[in-house]
Structure 1
Amino acid sequence: MKCVGGLKKGLQSRHKRHIYFSQRQAMASLSFLSLLLVTIMVSTASAQGGIASCCRKLSRTQVHREQLKSYYKQSTPPCPIHAVVFISVKDKRICSDPENVWTKTSMAYLDGKDWQIQHATFTKHHRSYN
């Protein structure tokens, strides 16, 4: 009889260790999953320019259009405000009001400049085939 009781006690002990190990595994898996989720969120935000690069307020700065290199539109979410972000030739960011006349004309200027460059390249390639 001692043998059977000893065997039963040994099985209970192993069973408790197995349950403890499973809870430990579950906690480790949950921690890993949480870390993975945070990493994905941060990398996604970084790929989109990052939340840290969002304009928080609009600037009234107006530079000469020749000093502008490009622009992009910032929207919500993830950023707190709608803005047009101009990048200067010196790589400075200017956060502009999308409804501002200067903003609209500067966007049109840059769009036209891009169109002229693309059209000139296309025309040049097109003429070389004739």
Structure 2
Amino acid sequence: MLISAPTLFISSVTPRAEEFAIEEQSRGFILKMRLSLVVAALLCFTTWMSVVHATHGPVPLCCMQWSNTRIPLKRIVGYTIQSEGVCPIAAVMFQTKLGKRICSDPNSVWAKEAILKVDEEKEKENIARENEECMEE
């Protein structure tokens, strides 16, 4: 009768090999889980940023109320008409030579005069620019 020694030898090594294989599988599983977690976090962040930007967009510069300040029309260099859709009130935002902004009721007489004055000056500037371009040619 022969007792097979290799069988005894293999059986004593097998538990360690199995432990090593299980350890390697666990490491692989943990790495996959970490990668999945990072990808999920990036996906959530990207989705959140796109939703926030799409819904709110850049914050507009809005007039929250009208000012009763009436400055000389010669100090006004530009204006922006503000609608109620994006901002809380309809208004005209006037820009002064010093860079200040004044919000006014678009239906007020003063605001209408200021708008006309700015439009007339812009038109004069455009005509002068066109004349200069014609003279250069």
TM-score, structure 2 normalization: 0.68
Q: Distance in 2 between matches of 1:6 and 1:128?
A: 88
- Look up the match of 1:10: 23
Q: Distance in 2 between matches of 1:115 and 1:70?
A: 12
Read off the aligned partner of 2:93 and give its amino acid letter.
V
Counterpart check, 1:88 vs 2:113:
no
- Measured against aligned partners, the alpha-carbon deviations of 1:86-127 in whole angstroms (never above 9, x if no partner) come to 011121111011111211121011001110111122234335
Q: Distance in 2 between matches of 1:13 and 1:125?
A: 76
- TM-superposed CA distance for 1:12, in Å, is 3.7
Seen in structure 2, the aligned counterparts of structure 1 residues 11 and 117 have a Cα distance that, compared at 3 Å, is same
How many correspondences in the alignment? 122
Seen in structure 2, the aligned counterparts of structure 1 residues 71 and 9 have a Cα distance that, compared at 3 Å, is same
- Look up the match of 1:66: 74
TM-score, structure 1 normalization: 0.71
Partner SS, residue 71 of structure 1: strand
- Look up the match of 1:24: 37
Read off the aligned partner of 2:65 and give its amino acid letter.
K
Identical columns (%): 26
For structure 2, the residue ranges without an aligned partner over 5 or more in a row are: 1-13
